[in-house]
């Protein structure tokens, strides 16, 4: 991949990370990637909301300096590369980036642009807060009971992409090797994949989940796995999670047996309960007993499934924020796809991007701006001023465009601060 020369942003200052602590100036440089398909539409609707939230929350004391980072189809049209090497450098330099959805090019040499970003930047934690926004149509009776944060491991599991096509020379070679050296017989026509999971990657994900629970005063962290069947991968994820808790959080974490024996079923102040659940059971638990779960830590594939299923409980991916994070870099993004058939129609719901922006501001410590965005979205929805996806589920709703919804959110935010 080639590099693309990009001018440094004017007027802003860099966000820095020292010893794991984020330092955010009053006029930070924030990287952005418009994205593909509907990406430009939702960015055009969202960027004015972000600007308004900062202006209304902090008057003239804080501002944003946007820095566009080449990626996806726009980058290919302008520079001949979907992901130039310089884009990775820019993301690392900015430290905080917000992006729209990216479409993986057909035959373009990438398994996935999003997965490539996560792997090359070691964005090992996919963080997905799932919380109901009042007024949103939802398929469950009590969507307000859902208030969870998912920490999904991003770099290993089947998403590592270590697999070989059915009938290929490499697949046949591996099938022969397994039979000759380990006595494992597979159908010779099988496609074959490997599922690597390591102690270090599992532990750093669980560490981040426990730290989040302690910082945000959440009471429960649940390891979700399929260790009853995959004992040396998913079962090991569970074991490494408990091992990490004993090694680094012995004075902060209690386990389920202790809760009843030592604490009469009540989690003491300043402590976190660490437990685990089998993945298939967990899908029932989040429907039937969502109030019992707050922070979930999962391997990659299970985390992918469960985060989308939880988003459906609170209204769908259009209302679901997310971020992919390393220890020094955070990439906030709309969690839905690029929906190319709606590209340029100014039609889709920008809620996921807006809420990811609120999540970004919270990460930066700009909580007043984050709160304004969430309140503005909720007020617009309760007023039944919504995009087509929600309007069709809300009798009496006023259907507005993508940019129209952004304008409605700004109007509501202004009413809170006037």
Burial 215-227 (b: 16+ CB within 10 A, else e): eeebebbbbbbbb
In 300-355, DSSP assigns E strands to 321-325, 330-334
State whether residue 88 is helix, strand or coil. helix
Q: Which phi and psi (to 5°) does residue 227 adopt?
A: -70, -15
In 144-214, DSSP assigns E strands to 147-153, 163-164, 192-193
To the question of whether residue 103 is assigned a binding role by annotation, the answer is yes
In angstroms, the CA 27 to CA 184 distance is 59
In angstroms, the CA 378 to CA 380 distance is 6
To the question of whether residue 336 is assigned a binding role by annotation, the answer is yes
In angstroms, the CA 336 to CA 331 distance is 15
Angle between helices 367-382 and 351-364 (to 10 degrees): 160
To the question of whether residue 128 is assigned a binding role by annotation, the answer is yes
Q: Which phi and psi (to 5°) does residue 37 adopt?
A: 60, -115
264 is catalytic: no
226 is catalytic: yes
To the question of whether residue 369 is assigned a binding role by annotation, the answer is no
Burial 293-303 (b: 16+ CB within 10 A, else e): bbbbbbbbbbb
Q: Of 82, 124, 132, 159, which is the active-site residue?
A: 159
To the question of whether residue 82 is assigned a binding role by annotation, the answer is no
Q: Of 157, 239, 304, 346, which is the active-site residue?
A: 304
In angstroms, the CA 321 to CA 374 distance is 11
To the question of whether residue 342 is assigned a binding role by annotation, the answer is yes
Q: Of 26, 170, 280, 327, which is the active-site residue?
A: 280
Q: How buried is 346 (Cβ within 10 angstroms: 0-12 exposed, 13-18 middle, 19+ buried)?
A: buried
To the question of whether residue 77 is assigned a binding role by annotation, the answer is no
To the question of whether residue 112 is assigned a binding role by annotation, the answer is yes
To the question of whether residue 152 is assigned a binding role by annotation, the answer is yes
In angstroms, the CA 72 to CA 54 distance is 28
304 is catalytic: yes
To the question of whether residue 228 is assigned a binding role by annotation, the answer is no
To the question of whether residue 338 is assigned a binding role by annotation, the answer is yes
In 266-348, DSSP assigns E strands to 272-278, 295-298, 321-325, 330-334
Q: Of 226, 271, 347, 412, which is the active-site residue?
A: 226
305 is catalytic: no
Q: What is the dihedral of CA 277, 278, 280, 283, to 10 degrees?
A: 10
To the question of whether residue 392 is assigned a binding role by annotation, the answer is yes
Please report how many Cα atoms fall inside a 13 Å half-sphere around the Cα of residue 390, on the Cβ side.
34
To the question of whether residue 337 is assigned a binding role by annotation, the answer is yes
**Residues that constitute the known binding site:** 103, 112, 114, 118, 128, 152, 304, 336-342, 349, 388, 392
**Residues that constitute the known binding site for NADP(+):** 103, 336-342, 349, 388, 392
**Residues that constitute the known binding site for Mg(2+):** 304
**Residues that constitute the known binding site for D-threo-isocitrate:** 112, 114, 118, 128, 152
Catalytic residue annotation:
159, 226, 280, 304
């Amino acid at each position: 991949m080639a590099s693309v020369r990009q001018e440094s942003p004017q007027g802003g200052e860099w966000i820095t990370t020292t010893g794991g602590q984020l330092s955010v100036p009053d006029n930070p440089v924030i990287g952005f990637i418009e994205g593909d398909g509907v990406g430009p539409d939702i960015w055009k609707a969202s960027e004015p909301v972000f600007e308004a939230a900062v202006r209304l929350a902090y008057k003239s004391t804080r501002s944003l300096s946007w820095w566009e980072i080449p990626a996806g189809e726009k980058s290919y049209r302008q520079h001949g590369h979907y992901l130039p090497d310089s884009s990775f450098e820019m993301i690392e330099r900015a430290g905080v980036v917000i992006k729209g959805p990216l479409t993986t090019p057909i035959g373009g040499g990438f398994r996935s642009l999003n997965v490539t970003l996560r792997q090359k930047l070691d964005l090992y934690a996919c963080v997905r807060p799932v919380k109901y926004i009042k007024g949103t149509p939802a398929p469950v009776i009590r969507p307000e009971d859902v208030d969870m944060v998912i920490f999904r491991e991003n770099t290993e599991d089947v998403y590592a992409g270590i697999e070989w096509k059915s009938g290929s020379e490499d697949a046949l070679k591996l099938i022969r090797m397994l039979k000759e050296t380990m006595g494992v017989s597979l159908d010779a026509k099988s496609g074959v994949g490997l599922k690597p999971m390591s102690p270090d990657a599992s532990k750093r994900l669980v560490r981040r989940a426990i730290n989040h629970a302690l910082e945000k005063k959440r009471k429960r962290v649940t390891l979700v796995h399929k260790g009853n069947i995959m004992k040396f991968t998913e079962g090991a994820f569970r074991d490494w999670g408990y091992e990490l808790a004993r090694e680094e959080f012995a004075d902060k974490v209690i386990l389920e047996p202790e809760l009843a024996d030592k604490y009469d079923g009540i989690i003491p102040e300043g402590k976190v309960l660490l437990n685990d659940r089998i993945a298939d059971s967990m899908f029932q638990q989040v429907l039937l007993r969502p109030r019992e779960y707050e922070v979930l830590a999962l391997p990659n594939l299970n985390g992918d499934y469960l985060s989308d299923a939880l988003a459906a409980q609170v209204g769908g991916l259009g209302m679901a924020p997310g971020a992919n994070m390393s220890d020094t870099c955070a990439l906030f993004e709309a969690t839905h796809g690029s929906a190319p058939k709606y590209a340029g129609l100014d039609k889709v719901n920008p809620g996921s991007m807006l809420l990811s922006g609120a999540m970004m501001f919270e990460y930066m410590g700009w909580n007043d701006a984050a709160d304004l965005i969430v309140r503005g979205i909720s007020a617009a929805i309760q007023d039944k001023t919504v995009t087509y996806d929600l309007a069709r589920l809300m009798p009496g709703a006023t259907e507005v465009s993508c940019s129209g919804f952004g304008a409605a959110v700004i109007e509501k935010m202004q009413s809170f601060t006037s």
